[in-house]
Amino acid sequence: MDNIIAYVRAVLSTTPARWQSLTETLPADLLRRPPAPNEWSALECLQHLVDTEQIFSVRVRHFLAGQDFPAFDPDTEGTRLSTEQSPSSLAATFARYRAASLDLLAQLTPGDLARSVRHSELGPVTLGEMLHEWAAHDLMHTVQAERALMQPFIAGCGPWRPYFTDHTVA
């Protein structure tokens, strides 16, 4: 991929609209339903994206300033999903954070991709590597959320269930 900044921006720009559509049209109980014990619901995936959106923006600024940064542990540093906030409100929060991130990404140049800092767990990392990780992370948790949403439908599809073996959460 020659133009990673444009590709990452393209991936990241699609996610807020997907979440806004899901949270405005699907029932909240379906969004809050975990696919299996100890697995994240779709809404918990969205909360994680809200949490990490702030982390990724901070990391871009660290790269631009040449400053090392610590690891992020979502289990100990992430916020817990608030039952007071509606799903659509959470999606709107994510959309606001993402818009600011996209503005920040618009300032990057291909020359910035080689900037290197030290991640406390991974060691030396480049901005280009982190941008790849950001896009993959975004897609991974969107797929995870959609798999969570699929589970009650897979469970109820009777003889068609074998077609969904690759998507069933145990």
User: pLDDT per residue over 103-115, tens digit each?
Assistant: 999 999 999 999 9
Residue 61: both structure tokens together: 């600024």
pLDDT, position 69: 87
Q: What predicted TM-score, i.e. pTM, was given to this entire model? A: 0.91
- For residue 131, the one-letter residue type is L
pLDDT, position 70: 83
What does the pLDDT look like over 35-84, one tens digit per residue?
Answer: 999 999 999 999 999 999 989 999 999 999 999 988 887 766 667 666 67
pLDDT, position 110: 95
H/E stretch holding 139 reads: helix 127-155
Phi then psi for 117, rounded to 5 degrees? -140, 180
pLDDT, position 77: 67
All structural domains of the chain, each given as residue ranges with its CATH number in brackets, are 4-167 (1.20.120.450)
Pick the range with the lowest mean pLDDT from 8-22, 31-45, 73-87, 129-143.
73-87
DSSP code string of 7-74: HHHHHHHHHHHHHHHHHHHS-HHHHH--SSTTS--HHHHHHHHHHHHHHHHHHHHHHHHT--B----H
> Which comes out higher in pLDDT, residue 157 or 83?
157
Comparing C-alpha atoms, which of 158, 130, 121, 162 is closest to residue 56? 130
| Summary mean pLDDT of the chain | 92
CB 142 within 8 A of CB 44: no
Phi then psi for 25, rounded to 5 degrees? -110, -30
